[in-house]
Amino acid sequence: MFLSVPHGGRLITALSPASARPEMARAYATRPAIRLSPREISDLGLIAIGAVSPLDGFMDEKTYHSVVDRMRLPDGLVFPLPIVLPVREEEARGLRIGEVVRLLDTSDRLLGLMTVSDIFRRDLEWEAQEVYRTNDPAHPGVAALGRLPGPFAIGGKVTVFDDWSEGPFAPLALTPTESRARFESLGWQTVVGFQTRNPIHRAHEYIQKCSLEIVDGLFLHPLVGETKEDDVPARVRMDCYNVLLERYYPRTRVVLGVFPGAMRYAGPREALFHALVRKNYGCTHFIVGRDHAGVGSYYGPFEAHALLRQFSFDELGIIPIFFDTAYYCRTCEGMVSHKTCGHDESSHVLLSGTKVRQMLRDGLPPPPEMTRPEVAAVLIGHYRKREESIPAVSSS
């Protein structure tokens, strides 16, 4: 098999059986406890399953500065986003290097343990400017930094119980070890990964199927971690993927999984991160579309393409497949992009996301050239339920 080599050479996992929890809880009952937010639990899970190999824990100060400053780990390996564990100032001042701490969720369930190797202070303004290229608090990534309890963080190796994530997506939550085994069982040697936080539409379908022409299989890998409030919920998006796969894709050439990471909206840096993560899952190719991982107008539509082109294959270990804006052309009578169609805009069926969302709220399906009717029905049902759940404003 010729699946990708994990980033750094091998998968680094940090899983421990859940059956060990009672004993570990007793043994470390008096140790300090750090309660993790949903976003931090997502990062912990990515470390645990090997998705962010070669990390074996949360970054220390040296690694944090190297990643934010030059998009590389201290040893030179490409890594574009900081994975750190924030703590309150009083927690930071009460900890010692070498101490084992308990990692809890918001319900005080023990998720795992961490051996503290570093306690440091982040420069959040510098981090925002370097990672997100803005300090605008309206940017969701910058806003997330603004909600932190302060600038302090701890780094160190973790051990995580293998039931760290439970919920409706658990059956599709393939670990990198499991996805690699699945691809091999299907006889795939080349696999293209597709990242999405949005409901799937005809342009997505077009670029996926174009990519599928040159590889053995497609790994459809939607993100189900934390997103911004106005994004379509993961359960609705998954319903869209399922109805589409049932009718319009070859069952033997697509694997649907879920990516438990949180969305950072870091544009080009996050596109690079998404590619490296899918490399760990076994993908040999990765689709990078227009404004990948972008938000608003903070990044140019093809800045992610430009960033990934700065790195050689030896550095990335995965082949990016770059796509221009895709749309339906009435003259061509099919899905096209600016690379394949020379007709003017009067022939194009291309609506803004704002316009499509308004149509869905009004119970109107977008044109079938943009969205499959089955997908539109799922989305209209979602918006209808959401509108019905909003309390009416009294006129008195």
Closest CA to 132 of 120, 143, 118: 143
Evaluate whether 283 touches 192 at the Cβ level (below 8 Å): yes
197 is catalytic: yes
CA distances from 72 to 12, 161, 387 (A): 18, 29, 45
Angle 373-389/353-361 helices, nearest 10 degrees?
A: 70
Q: What is the CA radius of gyration of the chain?
A: 22
Evaluate whether 288 touches 308 at the Cβ level (below 8 Å): yes
CA distances from 168 to 104, 109, 121, 196, 245 (A): 21, 19, 37, 18, 19
Q: What are phi and psi of 191, to 5 degrees?
A: -135, 130
Please tell me which residue in 133, 197, 237, 372 is annotated as part of the active site: 197
Give the distance between the most distant pair of CA atoms in the chain: 71
- Strands of the 334-337 sheet, one edge to the other: 334-337, 326-329, 348-349
Distance of CA 19 to the CA centre of its chain: 29
Long-range contacts of 358-365 (CB under 8 A, 24+ apart): 361/387
d(CA 104, CA 33): 7
Closest CA to 148 of 71, 91, 93, 103: 91
Paired tokens of 150: 């302060």
Please tell me which residue in 21, 88, 135, 198 is annotated as part of the active site: 198
Closest CA to 356 of 337, 342, 375, 339: 375
d(CA 76, CA 79): 9
280 is catalytic: no
Evaluate whether 24 touches 110 at the Cβ level (below 8 Å): yes
Q: Is the dihedral of CA 168, 234, 254, 368 positive or negative?
A: positive
Q: Which residues are catalytic?
A: 197-198
